[in-house]
Structure 1
């Protein structure tokens, strides 16, 4: 699933965030005719408070793939154990309701300082939720660095 674009959204007084229609429709299209549709997979999100004052939203499948990529080890280093504790301990599995909303955990809003007025950003395999103010403050700066970032990553990836 590829998420792109931005949408301005308001988190309501009950803490519900409406997933923009473009992303809900992509989820529904991707799950049509699959077993995962019957199990409700793809209609759940994992919400993770992220440094820098944002939330990351992963589909259930994307979050599970990330967990598998990180692998298992009985002898995990202290850094790896801390990563697992912080990332997975901070993740909340949220069900999307029939109106396409998720209930954002109050703890996540408090940790990130995200207010009610937000921007939902498609970021390839996830959605990011930013305060509108923070998004607007950094958007132009990030855009101006895009070409250099692509070149640097192209070098790291071997020109692929």
Structure 2
């Protein structure tokens, strides 16, 4: 599923977040699974993957009995923090308190489509960062192209 755009939402007192209808309407349970996987990200947002996409990405990793120290630590953190979240009949998920605390999300959030995932950002922080980051877009594209040429 391709996620694009952004939508203003709120996290309620029970830590529930409504998945925006424009994303729910694309949902195919055969392809996407029955739930979301939530992963707090160190830059201050929560990443949401469909169950199907999370499994596809996890399966791309080469399992080994003897991972490097770095690989073992990354796997422990990624899979240790990841939580499976089922949507209720109203299209809401309940975000884990730990994810909200780690990322310092407020109640007003921005749900952003980022290709194969959704990201949940604190709305005030998102708006401030976008005002600062948008002018940098062309430079970032050029940096990325140089990295991909290697």
TM-score, with normalisation over the residues of structure 2? Answer: 0.94
Using the alignment, how far apart are the partners of 1:133 and 1:71 within structure 2?
A: 39
How many residue pairs end up in the alignment? Answer: 150
Residue 6 in structure 1 maps to residue 2 in structure 2: no
Equivalent residue of 1:145, what SS? helix
Equivalent residue of 1:48, what SS? strand
Residue 23 in structure 1 maps to residue 23 in structure 2: yes
After TM superposition, give the deviation of residue 155 of structure 1 in Å.
Answer: 2.4
TM-score, with normalisation over the residues of structure 1? Answer: 0.88
Equivalent residue of 1:102, what SS? strand
Q: Which residue of 2 aligns with 1:122?
A: 113
- Point out where structure 2 has 5 or more consecutive residues left out of the alignment: none
Q: Which moved more, 1:64-73 or 1:52-61?
A: 64-73
Using the alignment, how far apart are the partners of 2:26 and 2:34 within structure 1?
A: 11
Using the alignment, how far apart are the partners of 1:111 and 1:94 within structure 2?
A: 17
Deviations 1:58-98 (Å, cap 9, x if unpaired)?
01111111111222011101110000010000000000111
RMSD over aligned CA atoms reads 1.6
Q: Which residue of 1 aligns with 2:137?
A: 146
Using the alignment, how far apart are the partners of 1:104 and 1:12 within structure 2?
A: 10
- Point out where structure 1 has 5 or more consecutive residues left out of the alignment: none
Residue 100 in structure 1 maps to residue 120 in structure 2: no
